[in-house]
Amino acid sequence: MKHLLRLSYLGTAYCGFQVQPNARTVQASLQEAATKIFDTPCGVSGCSRTDSGVHANEYLAVVEEHGTSGIPEQAVARAMNTYLPRDISVRESVRVPDGFHIRRAVAGKEYTYLIWNHPYRNPFLADRALYYPRKLDLEAMREAAPIFIGTHDFRAFMSSGSEIADTVRTVTDLRIESDGDAVRIYVSADGFLYNMVRIIVGTLLEVSEGKISPERLKRAVDGGDRSLAGRTAPAEGLYLNRVFLAEDARKGGEA
């Protein structure tokens, strides 16, 4: 029996989602909670890997229950939260077919990156936003944003260490919004490479700083040269914001 969970978490205290030896992870916390409420060892699979310190406004995970607990589906989320730490919250649960696989069901994702753009730090955003005291050139950043949109080989925006061979992705939206001193960069795509969003953000920061011109950025996107792209922004400002399921997956069950 499988349960599709919609959850949120603050990633500051975790070494990412995926289980790692001798490290605190979101997946391990979910497995421990599920094992307690279903009184049997439970496997948990996630919609995406997230790095250490990365957060999630919305994350989808599947709990595989080996047995029949009799717990009503509407009570699963509340029961999970009883055993989860305060920085992880399951908001909804729905039963899905045994053949449901979360990675195959995901059609796309949206990430958002939060920047605190003010001369002084905001202590309430410590580890939750990038503190950037220099004034951002939002106009230059917005003019550069459309260069990323479309289907491209994004290998210039991937950190070393990735084993992914196919580096072509389709970015469907990239927008920059500001609300006072808070600046949010939204990136939607059918998939993401290792540190792709963080490198896009770092590149846009260097566009703002006048270090990367639109022409150089276009060469980076078209030519795949990592040296032409910008730095990798810190993990603390990155949030998985939304997860989009494919239509055929929705028929099987949607959180």
Q: What is the distance in angstroms between the CA of the first residue and the CA of the last residue of the chain?
A: 15
pLDDT the model gives residue 220: 97
pLDDT the model gives residue 225: 95
Domains of the chain and any CATH numbers? 2-100 (3.30.70.580), 107-242 (3.30.70.660)
| Phi, psi for residue 213 in degrees, rounded to 5 | -85, 160
pLDDT the model gives residue 254: 42
Does 51 qualify as catalytic in the annotation?
yes
27 Cβ neighbours under 8 A, 6+ residues apart: 17, 18, 19, 44, 46, 61
pLDDT the model gives residue 165: 86
For tokens 């970015």, the residue is 171
| pLDDT tens for each residue of the chain, 255 residues long | 899 999 999 999 999 999 998 899 999 999 999 999 998 889 999 999 889 999 999 999 999 987 666 788 899 999 999 999 999 999 999 999 989 999 999 999 999 999 999 999 999 999 999 999 999 999 999 999 999 999 999 999 999 877 788 999 999 999 999 999 999 999 999 999 999 999 999 999 999 999 999 999 999 999 999 999 999 999 999 999 999 998 655 455 444
Which of the following is catalytic: 39, 51, 153, 166? 51
For tokens 């949607």, the residue is 254
Of 176, 181, 202, 208, the C-alpha closest to 120 is 181
pTM of the model: 0.93
Instruction: Identify whether the C-beta of residue 189 lies closer than 8 Å to the C-beta of residue 109.
Output: yes
Distances from the Cα of 172 to the Cα of 12, 85, 97, 167, 192, angstroms: 28, 35, 30, 16, 12
